Amino acid sequence: MKFTVLTLFPELLETYVKSSILGRALDRELFQFKTIQIRDFAINDYGQVDDSLYGGGVGMLMMCEPVYQAWQQARAGDSGARTLVMKAGGRSFDQKMAEELAEEDHLILLCGHYEVIDARVLEEIGAEPVSVGDFVLTGGELPACLIIDATVRLLDGVLVSEEAWQDESFSSGLLSERQYTRPENWRDHQVPSVLLSGHDARIKRHRVNDSLWQTIQMRPDLLDHMELSYEQINDLLLWLEEELN
């Protein structure tokens, strides 16, 4: 899989993507990563890529032609590449979308800056707007890093096993259960005894119910589109009673 990022600040992305798990996966050629500096396609010798807004308004807007030329270079020889633009109000990026993107061969990620990008070029290149949250950032580089991270870790060979991500928060639609490591007792906080029992069925039941309970407490909205059976609800209530005793 290949990621090409169009940006005014390639160093921000390169530092992140070339570090830790992503960096090791990149070294092993499990995915490809490239940045294209939009300013290389500036309209003059001063490196201009932005201008004031028609109709007035505060701030500067990235111009059509530098973005278009950078995009043309990114997709050269690959007309099937999918283009996403980091933009407030776009499709909300989530685990489901990460899994969808992991099936693509080539993603072009367009990072805006200033007051974002002239709408005409976004229409011309067919860029799909994507948002990572209901807040405003100074540029699209951080959202692009989030999308690359969440997508790359789903690719074969990046993590130790497929189960490493399938059992995590949001992969099942629920938050992950609480997890623990050594020592068994830390500052009078004890690891749940069932996790020390070695009884696979009981451990699985504990994890399933704790995952559901964490979701109910912290992200009940995730349950809006799920139908819990009577057996699931009843077992959760029994588990909670056991936990309190």
The token duo for 173 is 């639609």
Residue-wise pLDDT for 13-58, tens only, equals 999 999 999 999 999 999 999 999 999 999 999 999 999 999 988 8
Q: Tell me, what's the pLDDT at 177?
A: 93
User: Distances in Å between the alpha carbon of 212 and those of 39, 176, 195, 224, 231?
Assistant: 48, 8, 17, 13, 13
Instruction: Give the type of residue at 94.
Output: D
Cis ω before 183 (30° cut-off from 0): yes
Residue-wise pLDDT for 191-226, tens only, equals 999 999 999 999 999 999 999 999 999 999 999 989
Give DSSP secondary structure letters for 146-174. HHHHHHHTTSTTTSS-THHHHTSTTTSSS
N-term to C-term CA, the chain:
51
Instruction: Give the type of residue at 152.
Output: V
Name beta bridge partners: 139.
113
Find tokens 């933009």 and name the residue. 87
Percent of the chain predicted with pLDDT > 90: 87
Sheet of 106-110, strands arranged across = 32-37, 2-7, 106-110, 82-92, 128-131
Q: Tell me, what's the pLDDT at 59?
A: 86
Q: Tell me, what's the pLDDT at 245?
A: 83
Q: CB–CB of 2/35 below 8 Å?
A: no
- Phi first, then psi, for residue 74 (nearest 5°) are -65, -35
The alpha carbon dihedral of 69, 70, 71, 74 has a sign of positive
Q: pTM for this structure?
A: 0.88
Q: Tell me, what's the pLDDT at 99?
A: 96
Please report which confidence band the pLDDT of residue 167 belongs to, taking 50, 70 and 90 as the band edges. low
Number of H helices, E strands in the chain: 9, 9
- Mean pLDDT, the chain, integer: 93
The token duo for 157 is 């060979």
Instruction: Give the type of residue at 148.
Output: I
Domains and CATH numbers, the chain: 2-152 (3.40.1280.10), 167-244 (1.10.1270.20)
Neighbouring residues of 193: CB distance < 8 A, sequence distance ≥ 6: none
Q: Determine the distance from the C-alpha atom of residue 146 to the mean position of all C-alpha atoms in its chain, rounded to a whole number.
A: 4
